[in-house]
Amino acid sequence: MDAQEDRRMAVISRFLVVGPVLILLSWYLAGQWDMAGPEARAWLQFTGVVGLASVMPLPGTSRSLSELAAHVQWWGWVVIVGLVLTS
């Protein structure tokens, strides 16, 4: 039962990480990029740069894979919520 729960949690976690990226990708592929106003683009720029700075590996600091995944996941959702608000 525990192993099954663990697997489910892992799937959900992966989806949370990959989900926002897939939504962005489909948004881009659907040709919506050109429709986006300057605010949506500025939001992507802002969260892209700051999100990158928050996950980028640095000398002398270490982070486990699960922590990194949690960070990416958090930033992914920040991007999505921001896009919904700014679009």
The gap from C-alpha 29 to its chain's centroid, in whole angstroms, comes to: 17
On whether the CB atoms of residues 12 and 44 are closer than 8 A, the answer is: no
Distances (CA, A) of 38 to 6, 26, 33, 82, 83: 42, 19, 11, 13, 11
- Amino acid type, 26: S
9 sits near other proteins (criterion: CB under 8 A): no
Of 28, 45, 67, 81, the one binding other proteins (CB under 8 A) is 45
35 vs 42, which CB is nearer to other proteins?
A: 42
The radius of gyration of the chain's CA atoms, rounded to the nearest angstrom, is 15
Q: Is 59 in the site for other proteins (CB under 8 A)?
A: yes
Question: Which stretch, 2-10, 13-21, 25-33, 58-66, contacts other proteins (CB under 8 A)?
Answer: 58-66
31 binds other proteins (CB under 8 A): no
Which residues make up the interface to other proteins (CB under 8 A)? 39, 42-43, 45-46, 48-50, 52-54, 56, 58-61, 82, 86
